[in-house]
Amino acid sequence: MKLARCLIVAGVAVFLSAGSAQASEKPEFSFSFLGFHKKLEKYRPKIEKLSRYYGIDPDLALAIAMYESGGNEGLVSHAGARGIMQVMPSTKDSMQLDDDIEAGIKYLSRLKKIFGDQSSKIIAAYNGGPGAVRRDRLRLETIQYLQGVSMYHHLLKQYRKEIDKEAADLKIVEIKNETWRDVSIRFRVSILELRMYNPFLAHRGELKMGARVVAPKISRLGIKKENNELIYIARLGDEQHLLANVFDVSYDEFRRRNHLFLYGAVYPGIVIRAIAREYLLSGWPVNNKK
């Protein structure tokens, strides 16, 4: 894991220096991070209570829930992991628990018994398994996971009051029989802005019945269009795979266009470019000039 440590330390160091540069200014959090935080408000009391019961840092459990599911309870991964904490059925069965959130937090407590207070190893083991961590052989995906969860954890620890305040200006609607365009017109924001707050849902095409969608009370996106490109300035909490979902491009295309390394971090302040797909800017206000 020596190379992994170097990559993670370098990535977190640059992220922290970028974050500290905003310390004297109002921090700008990514739309996805705020959307995750808003959706998890419903589950936060339960996560915090169970975390204290099992001896886990509540902010660590919240950061993992954010990265795993974005607060989308009905999420099922390609591998079969389910729920807020994305627990595999076999793991939940081994815990002898029916509740996905409690199973995930209890699993974290088991990992803590193995690795003590070494949070980085606990996070990596939650994704890649304790065996891989013991052997010092982390997959690139696990390195990305460790970077992302560590970043979310840092934001929760350092900026909780500011995050809560910004999330209070967001609202949630449960989808019945609506499309992205329908919700866009209802909340008077573009489809792109809705996808920014809900990147896990953006990855899955059209909205599904029962999905919970986060939307701002007032549009705050502030994105530019130059020629055939959309220009976005990265914020605290942005992740390249989530932005690729939002802009509806493959991960390879997103990295190529923005000169990013495989599983590399997206640092606050860098310029992000994506193809200007017209439907992303449709809905409101493009089709509603009043």
Which residues does the annotation mark as catalytic? 68
The dihedral sign for the CA sequence 154, 171, 168, 195: positive
Tell me, rounded to whole angstroms, the distance of Cα 139 from its chain centroid: 20
Based on its alpha-carbon atoms, the radius of gyration of the chain, rounded to whole angstroms, reads: 19
104/126 Cα distance (integer angstroms): 9
Residue 286 CA to residue 290 CA, distance in Å, equals 10
- Phi then psi for residue 180, to 5 deg, are -55, -40
**Cα–Cα–Cα angle for 83, 279, 75, rounded to 5 degrees:** 5
Neighbour count for residue 282 (Cβ, 10 Å): 17
Q: Where are the beta strands (DSSP E) in the chain?
A: 170-174, 212-216, 224-226, 229-233, 271-275
Strand partners, 82: 76, 87
Half-sphere exposure of 31 (CA within 13 A, CB side): 25
Q: How far apart are CA 130 and CA 121, in angstroms?
A: 8
- The residue among 82, 30, 88, 40 whose CA lies nearest residue 61 is 40
| DSSP sequence for 232-257 | EE--BT--HHHHHHHHT--HHHHHHH
